[in-house]
A and B are shown apart, each in its own frame.
Chain A
Amino acid sequence: MTMTNDDYPFAVEMRDIVLRFPGVLANDHVNLNLNKGEIHALLGENGAGKSTLMNILSGLYRPESGEIKVNGSSVHFNSPKDAIASGIGMVHQHFMLVPTLTVTENILLGLNEPRFFMKLTKYDKKILALQEEFGLKVDPAAKIWQLSVGEQQRVEILKTLYRGADILILDEPTAVLAPQEIEELMGTMRTLVEQGKSIIFISHKLNEVKAVADRLTVLRKGRVTAEGIDPTGLSRGDLAELMVGREVIFQIEKEAQQPGGVVLEVENLSTINNRGMNAVNGVSFSIRQGEIFGIAGIAGNGQSELVEAITGLRASTGSIRINDTEVGNCPPRKSIHCGMAHIPEDRMGVGTAPNLSVTKNVIMKNYDQSPISKGWRINYLEAHSHAVDLKEGYDIQAPSVETQARKLSGGNLQKLILAREISGKPQLIVAMQPTRGLDVGAIESIQKLLLEQRRNGAAILLLSEELDELLELSDRVAVIFDGELVSQMDSREANLNTIGMMMTGSLRSGE
């Protein structure tokens, strides 16, 4: 299907693409031009139609009208197979890899070759050559579960390259990566472009877009608000305004306030991870009323286990006290009744029940308390009005409170979780990655909500890989490395450089 036409300037041209979903115009006459050999950023809030547009380009959806040209020739994709044949490869945000198979096996999965006898060593070499060419280092014989997230992403990219992709679509590739890995990915993207590939890069993060993209296109509510513009000279504010349609205040307004009494006291806490290895080693800290305590660190240094231990989801040794009540090693119900709210890392997998309605999701923590609970039964009328109140009060965008949670966008799902947790008037909030993967508008409202709780006197434990956010929101910060808190300091005195070194373990204590 592909015609080799080296002089043709555009790798992809999408003209007047229209696609309607019931009740939503997901793409309203959208245009996108991808030059050969460029990194083209595609920006937009959740639900702006980015993913729809990319799903059209990768053959998953078919547009109602509009034209797609690849290398100058018109194409009609009936399935992702057709798109792959035209040299289009997509790396999804959630990886599509089989954890128990090796890198090579994953790359070959679904291909016609090898047919029956699997002499995989031959293919290992082919893959190594591909790695060499594009600078994507990963051991072909390693099993996927042994790899870091960054390495898994490299496997996904290799998979598309192995299938002969010239045009790569990277769907929010940085959302899952640590800062160093993001740097590496950007390097990879530049190498790919130098070798003649063209890249569409979907992102929420404005600084990344500015750092790596040659041109950018912005979508808002299914329409293009900026087409193929040059990012140099644009400020973060300009971009945000194009995405959200109004001015966004990046300055977080945090008044100085005197923290009150100690709410959470963690002493010498240790726990093991799912593989039975030490994940948290003798961690101690305390948080007072009206104080945000931030913990920075690269993913996998014990953050998840620490949070699970504090919230009662994981067995631990040591002591955890909420307002002098011991909750360490107690079932989660106990800490919930002690006034602890938990905003989990995994919104879909832990924070909500995806197939149940918004109503049933917002009563998760108070279904056993009056007025929702009435004797042996649940007062669903009360539950319904509670859900409607929260939906309106926290601006959760959903057709109704009977809508299944899985139909909500990431930002709205997170608002639902925050609404539920905050409506319980918590004394302690444990928030892990509360803004990850959200768009600017949603991040702004989540941060505001957390600061409002701080004003109301809640003690907040915040874990985030977004260093800027962590430093801006927190009153005190600590760094976790290899299951230990390296140092605790006032966030105003924190130095990005020092923290970065502590995160990677090259500096073990705060000087």
Chain B
Amino acid sequence: MKFPFKVKIEKRIEDLPKWMPLVTSLGAVLIAFIISGIVLYLIGSNPIRVFKYFFSAAFGSWGAFSDILVKATPLILIGLGCCLAFKMKIISIGAEGQFFMGAFFASLVVLVPLVPLDSPKVLVLSLMAVMGIIGGALYGLIPGLLKAYFNVNVIITTLMLNYVAVYWNNYWIFGKYSDLGFQMTPTFDKVAWLPRLADMAKEIPFFSGITLHLGVVFGLIAAVLIWLILKYSRWGYEITLIGDNPKAAEYAGINIKRNIILVMVVSGALAGLAGMSEVTGVVHRLQEEISSNYGFSGLIVAWLAKLNPFAVIPVAILFGGLIVAGREIQPSGLSFLIQGMILFLVISSDVLLRYKIRVTRREEEVV
């Protein structure tokens, strides 16, 4: 006796309902948590209690939520840069390096110093933002030029340049700018600190201890800009066309080399700004540990957001939550487990968008 149902996978021919990608992505996140729960159960803990603690550690208080937004800020900026590059099918994984270069260039403003430290805060911070953007952009320019003129594989160059950036940073913080021989610079003068909500605690007591800084506003503005670019601009159209069929784009008279360079520069600039926001908003010095793998998590964020600039924000917050909660629980690998599961399942769930699964009764098959 045969199993009475048959499962058949068929290619989707009709257009996809608009809600479908959202539902499958959310479903994938849910399943990731369920699988992680099973793993937790197998190692002998109570998954319900762990998740309860996990969520309260992440979303339980305004303070914790602000921590999440702080973690989400660089993820948003980097994720947006990746959206742009991925839309053109340039697989740049250099955000980590561009982040470090942005942080380094921004720090130069106070370390050299490029302006007297008694200048107005607005001037110092603006200059640092510009320097951060320049640092990241230059670091994106290198693989961009190599790709455009010599067709060098971007994955390789950006990956390698990440290491260069980290060691470049180390050279300076161990050497010339070291604080008493520790692998960090001295704390920046307060003039180079991005304003935090906690700064307003005197007027509004509710904000006391809230670490959220101005960087998150950079992220939100960038999201709107990238959305406008991709959805409405001529440049966005060129990027989309190149991403779908570079030969057709060339045939349409689009300058592909210029676009490769531009996209790499802009995505680098966003990562650089993230680096600036991190050193001025969170750590207030240049040090070895400024990135919790933001460059790589940002890449995942862009992917999970299906390259939609607005979807980047909630996804970055989810990942921020995983980072914050990961600090609180043992084994701390749990948050990496969940991150990995989410990425894996969301990418797998794409199958549901391209194919449909039909369950039919066996009897129907018989004519």
Chain A interface residues (CB < 8 Å from chain B): 21-23, 62, 65-67, 76, 311-313, 331-333, 336, 342, 344, 346, 349-356, 360, 363-365, 367-368, 373, 376-378, 380, 399, 402-403, 407
Which residues of chain A come closer than 8 Å to B232, judged between CB atoms?
Answer: 377-378, 380
Kindly state whether residue B176 has any CB partner on chain A within 8 Å.
no
Which residues of chain A come closer than 8 Å to B234, judged between CB atoms?
Answer: 367-368, 373, 376-378
Given contacts A331-B255, A333-B254, A376-B235, 14 further A-B contacts (CB under 8 A): A331-B253, A333-B255, A346-B247, A350-B245, A350-B248, A351-B251, A353-B249, A354-B244, A360-B237, A363-B237, A365-B253, A367-B252, A376-B234, A380-B232
The 9 closest A-B pairs by CB, nearest first: A333-B253, A353-B244, A364-B252, A22-B14, A353-B245, A332-B253, A377-B232, A353-B248, A336-B253
Cβ < 8 Å to A, chain B residues 198-257: 228, 232-235, 237, 240-241, 244-245, 247-255
* Closest chain A residue to B10, Cβ basis: A61
Docked-complex contact A403 and B251, CB < 8 angstroms: no
Which residues of chain A come closer than 8 Å to B15, judged between CB atoms?
Answer: 399, 402-403
Which residues of chain A come closer than 8 Å to B233, judged between CB atoms?
Answer: 376-378
- Within the complex, which residue of B251, B253, B254, B255 is in contact with A350, where a contact is CB–CB below 8 Å? B251
* Closest chain B residue to A402, Cβ basis: B15
Which residues of chain A come closer than 8 Å to B118, judged between CB atoms?
Answer: none
Docked-complex contact B367 and A356, CB < 8 angstroms: no
Which residues of chain A come closer than 8 Å to B1, judged between CB atoms?
Answer: none
Which residues of chain B come closer than 8 Å to A62, judged between CB atoms?
Answer: 365
Give bound CA distance, A21 to B13, whole Å: 8
Cβ < 8 Å to A, chain B residues 13-47: 13-15
B185 to chain A, nearest CB (A): 40
Which residues of chain A come closer than 8 Å to B253, judged between CB atoms?
Answer: 312, 331-333, 336, 365
Q: List 18 A-B contacts (CB under 8 A).
A: A22-B13, A66-B367, A76-B365, A312-B253, A333-B254, A350-B247, A350-B251, A353-B248, A356-B240, A356-B244, A360-B241, A364-B248, A365-B252, A367-B234, A373-B234, A377-B233, A378-B233, A378-B237
B43 to chain A, nearest CB (A): 41
* Closest chain B residue to A404, Cβ basis: B15
* Closest chain A residue to B241, Cβ basis: A353
Docked-complex contact B251 and A332, CB < 8 angstroms: yes
Which residues of chain A come closer than 8 Å to B251, judged between CB atoms?
Answer: 311, 313, 332, 342, 344, 350-351, 364
Give bound CA distance, A332 to B248, whole Å: 11
* Closest chain B residue to A23, Cβ basis: B14
- With contact pairs A333-B253, A360-B237, A377-B233 given, residues A354 and B245 touching in the complex (Cβ less than 8 Å): yes
Docked-complex contact B367 and A65, CB < 8 angstroms: yes
Which residues of chain A come closer than 8 Å to B228, judged between CB atoms?
Answer: 377
A505 to chain B, nearest CB (A): 31
Give bound CA distance, A346 to B251, whole Å: 11
Give bound CA distance, A349 to B251, whole Å: 10
A50 to chain B, nearest CB (A): 17
Which residues of chain A come closer than 8 Å to B14, judged between CB atoms?
Answer: 22-23
Which residues of chain B come closer than 8 Å to A402, judged between CB atoms?
Answer: 15
Give bound CA distance, A377 to B232, whole Å: 5
Which residues of chain B come closer than 8 Å to A352, judged between CB atoms?
Answer: 245, 248
* Closest chain A residue to B15, Cβ basis: A403
Which residues of chain B come closer than 8 Å to A312, judged between CB atoms?
Answer: 253
A432 to chain B, nearest CB (A): 12
Give bound CA distance, A363 to B237, whole Å: 10
Give bound CA distance, A336 to B7, whole Å: 51
Give bound CA distance, A66 to B245, whole Å: 41
Docked-complex contact B241 and A349, CB < 8 angstroms: no
Give bound CA distance, A21 to B233, whole Å: 37
Give bound CA distance, A373 to B241, whole Å: 16
* Closest chain A residue to B232, Cβ basis: A377
A17 to chain B, nearest CB (A): 11
Which residues of chain B come closer than 8 Å to A311, judged between CB atoms?
Answer: 251
B151 to chain A, nearest CB (A): 14
A340 to chain B, nearest CB (A): 10
Docked-complex contact B367 and A67, CB < 8 angstroms: yes
- Within the complex, which residue of A67, A346, A356 is in contact with B241, where a contact is CB–CB below 8 Å? A356
B241 to chain A, nearest CB (A): 5
Which residues of chain A come closer than 8 Å to B235, judged between CB atoms?
Answer: 376
Which residues of chain B come closer than 8 Å to A377, judged between CB atoms?
Answer: 228, 232-234
B255 to chain A, nearest CB (A): 7
Give bound CA distance, A66 to B244, whole Å: 40
Docked-complex contact B367 and A367, CB < 8 angstroms: no
Give bound CA distance, A342 to B253, whole Å: 11
Which residues of chain B come closer than 8 Å to A365, judged between CB atoms?
Answer: 252-253
Which residues of chain A come closer than 8 Å to B365, judged between CB atoms?
Answer: 62, 76
Give bound CA distance, A353 to B241, whole Å: 7
* Closest chain B residue to A22, Cβ basis: B14
A396 to chain B, nearest CB (A): 17
Cβ < 8 Å to A, chain B residues 154-194: none
Docked-complex contact A349 and B245, CB < 8 angstroms: yes
Docked-complex contact B248 and A313, CB < 8 angstroms: no
Q: 1/0 per residue B33-70: CB within 8 Å of A?
A: 00000000000000000000000000000000000000
Which of B247, B252, B367 neighbours the largest number of chain A CB atoms within 10 Å of its CB? B252
B227 to chain A, nearest CB (A): 12
* Closest chain A residue to B240, Cβ basis: A356
B17 to chain A, nearest CB (A): 12
B11 to chain A, nearest CB (A): 10
Cβ < 8 Å to A, chain B residues 243-284: 244-245, 247-255
Give bound CA distance, A115 to B82, whole Å: 44
Which residues of chain B come closer than 8 Å to A360, judged between CB atoms?
Answer: 237, 240-241
Which residues of chain A come closer than 8 Å to B241, judged between CB atoms?
Answer: 353, 356, 360, 364
A235 to chain B, nearest CB (A): 37
Which residues of chain B come closer than 8 Å to A403, judged between CB atoms?
Answer: 15
- With contact pairs A313-B251, A373-B234 given, residues A355 and B367 touching in the complex (Cβ less than 8 Å): no
Docked-complex contact B247 and A367, CB < 8 angstroms: no
Give bound CA distance, A402 to B15, whole Å: 10
* Closest chain A residue to B252, Cβ basis: A364
Which residues of chain B come closer than 8 Å to A354, judged between CB atoms?
Answer: 244-245
B152 to chain A, nearest CB (A): 20
Which residues of chain A come closer than 8 Å to B248, judged between CB atoms?
Answer: 349-353, 364
Which residues of chain B come closer than 8 Å to A342, judged between CB atoms?
Answer: 251
* Closest chain B residue to A67, Cβ basis: B367
- With contact pairs A364-B252, A365-B252, A367-B234 given, residues A355 and B247 touching in the complex (Cβ less than 8 Å): no
* Closest chain A residue to B14, Cβ basis: A22
A23 to chain B, nearest CB (A): 7
Give bound CA distance, A67 to B367, whole Å: 8
* Closest chain B residue to A368, Cβ basis: B234
Cβ < 8 Å to A, chain B residues 105-154: none
Which residues of chain A come closer than 8 Å to B249, judged between CB atoms?
Answer: 353
* Closest chain B residue to A344, Cβ basis: B251
Give bound CA distance, A353 to B240, whole Å: 9
Give bound CA distance, A312 to B365, whole Å: 55
Give bound CA distance, A355 to B248, whole Å: 12
B104 to chain A, nearest CB (A): 32
Which residues of chain B come closer than 8 Å to A367, judged between CB atoms?
Answer: 234, 237, 252
Give bound CA distance, A66 to B366, whole Å: 10
Docked-complex contact B240 and A349, CB < 8 angstroms: no
Give bound CA distance, A351 to B252, whole Å: 9
Which residues of chain B come closer than 8 Å to A331, judged between CB atoms?
Answer: 253, 255
Which residues of chain B come closer than 8 Å to A67, judged between CB atoms?
Answer: 367
Which residues of chain A come closer than 8 Å to B244, judged between CB atoms?
Answer: 353-356
